[in-house]
């Protein structure tokens, strides 16, 4: 009898442990700002805010062939806004506008399929708008008034309104792994009315990380299955350099279907660099309930007129996991 009770207790505890690890839903936000780095700058990509809801699909709903290959699948609904400045939001004249002002507001949906061989494929679509309708000036003015920052005077130099429909494809593939380090190939392709670019590069992780099919690195911490993870809690440093070939960027060049600058406007359009080198460094944590990522981005000049040869910003992501 005691043996049966002990066996039952162990089974229940095992179930609780499994239940604690498998959280099928996540909700949270990401905040980007160049002021996070304490430089006193307010330029170029200066602010971004994003809301996320993620949910994992139960693999039992897949066909047998897919179940044999797929370890996890996650869907994301995202609402986001990005704000771009020139070298400052308070300029003496148009002569100092080295990058157009722009707001970009969108709603996105992404499907993330993660294979047992540690290849992940994310396909997403975003619909939105650039220009005054994106609310960039309104949000930046609110931030500056709330925190006592300087007065804005240059948003008349922003790009005009234009509807946006954009697709993105991201691929990650494990290259090699040791006990506390691994190397991943990462690449992306953006196509649409606003953003056309491709980028590739490696990602190095150091610390306690999990497989790519259930990790912060691939936005796949939501899961409904027990994937025999390497660690119950992820805590690792990562570095991700990337070479980007940029064909079109609507936040710098405006509406892709119109001549620039548009007649009768004060729009200033940037002449973009078609090759941009980016660096991302960060620390990630994923526990049973909380996902946290803090990172720094450093990009080379994206628009040829930019006074500064590089620009950088900080990013903070916080997600809450639940069943």
- Residue bearing the bigger pLDDT, 307 or 266: 307
What Cα–Cα distance (Å) separates residue 319 from each residue in 22, 30, 31, 172, 280? Answer: 15, 9, 12, 22, 20
pLDDT at 13: 38
pLDDT band, very low/low/confident/very high, at 58 (cuts 50, 70, 90) = confident
| Dihedral angle, C-alpha 120, 198, 250, 298, nearest 10 ° | 80
| 215 found inside a domain | yes
pLDDT at 133 over 90: yes
pLDDT at 64: 77
Domain of 124, CATH number, reads 2.40.128.140
pLDDT at 29: 98
pLDDT tens digits along 19-30: 345 789 999 999
Contact indicator for 315, 110 with CB cutoff of 8 Å: no
pLDDT at 7: 46
| Burial class for 203, CB neighbours closer than 10 Å (0-12, 13-18, 19+) | buried
| 81 found inside a domain | yes
Mean pLDDT of 109-129: 97
pLDDT at 18 over 50: no
Tokens 């619909």 correspond to what residue? 127
Helices (H) and strands (E) in the chain, counts: 4, 12
pLDDT band, very low/low/confident/very high, at 3 (cuts 50, 70, 90) = very low
pLDDT band, very low/low/confident/very high, at 80 (cuts 50, 70, 90) = very high
| 248 found inside a domain | yes
From first CA to last CA, the distance across the chain in angstroms is 34
pLDDT at 148: 87
Which residues are within 8 A (CB) of 220 and not within 5 positions of it... i.e. 6 or more apart? 72, 74, 112, 114, 120, 212, 213, 214
| 2 found inside a domain | no
| Dihedral angle, C-alpha 55, 231, 173, 182, nearest 10 ° | 150
| 292 found inside a domain | yes
Domain that holds residue 143: 25-316
| 10 found inside a domain | no
According to DSSP, the β-strands at 102-115 and 234-249 are: unpaired
Tokens 């992501």 correspond to what residue? 317
pLDDT at 62: 76
pLDDT at 12: 39
Contact indicator for 278, 298 with CB cutoff of 8 Å: yes
pLDDT tens digits along 270-318: 789 999 999 999 999 999 999 999 999 999 999 999 999 999 999 999 9
- Residue bearing the bigger pLDDT, 250 or 226: 250
**Count: domains in the chain:** 1
Which residues are within 8 A (CB) of 148 and not within 5 positions of it... i.e. 6 or more apart? none
| 171 found inside a domain | yes
Contact indicator for 297, 240 with CB cutoff of 8 Å: no
| 132 found inside a domain | yes
Q: What is the mean pLDDT of the chain?
A: 90
């Amino acid at each position: 009898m005691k043996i049966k009770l002990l066996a039952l207790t162990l089974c229940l505890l095992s179930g609780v442990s499994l239940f604690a690890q498998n959280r099928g839903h996540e909700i949270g936000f990401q905040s980007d700002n160049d002021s996070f780095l304490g430089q006193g700058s307010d330029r170029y990509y200066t602010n971004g805010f994003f809301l996320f809801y993620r949910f994992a699909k139960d693999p039992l709903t897949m066909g047998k062939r897919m179940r044999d290959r797929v370890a996890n699948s996650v869907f994301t609904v995202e609402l986001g806004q990005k704000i771009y400045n020139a070298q400052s939001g308070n300029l003496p004249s148009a002569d100092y506008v080295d990058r157009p002002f722009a707001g970009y507001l969108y709603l996105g949906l992404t499907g993330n399929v993660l294979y047992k061989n540690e290849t992940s494929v994310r396909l997403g679509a975003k619909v939105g708008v650039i220009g005054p309708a994106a609310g960039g000036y309104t949000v930046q003015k609110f931030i500056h008034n709330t925190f006592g920052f300087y007065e804005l005077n240059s948003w008349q130099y922003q790009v005009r309104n234009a509807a946006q429909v954009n697709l993105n494809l991201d691929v990650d593939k494990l290259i090699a792994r040791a006990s506390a380090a691994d190397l991943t190939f990462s690449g992306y392709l953006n196509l649409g009315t606003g953003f056309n670019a491709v980028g590739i590069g490696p990602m190095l992780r150091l610390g306690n990380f999990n497989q790519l099919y259930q990790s912060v690195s691939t936005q796949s911490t939501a899961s409904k299955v027990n994937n025999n993870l390497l660690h119950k809690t992820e805590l690792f440093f990562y570095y991700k350099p990337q070479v980007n070939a940029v064909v079109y960027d609507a936040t710098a060049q405006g509406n892709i279907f119109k001549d620039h600058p548009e007649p009768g406007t004060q729009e200033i359009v940037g002449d973009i660099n078609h090759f941009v080198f980016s660096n991302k460094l960060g620390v990630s944590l994923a526990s049973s309930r909380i996902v946290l990522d803090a990172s720094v981005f450093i990009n080379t000049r994206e628009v040829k007129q930019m006074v500064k040869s590089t620009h950088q910003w900080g990013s903070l992501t916080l997600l809450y996991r639940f069943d």
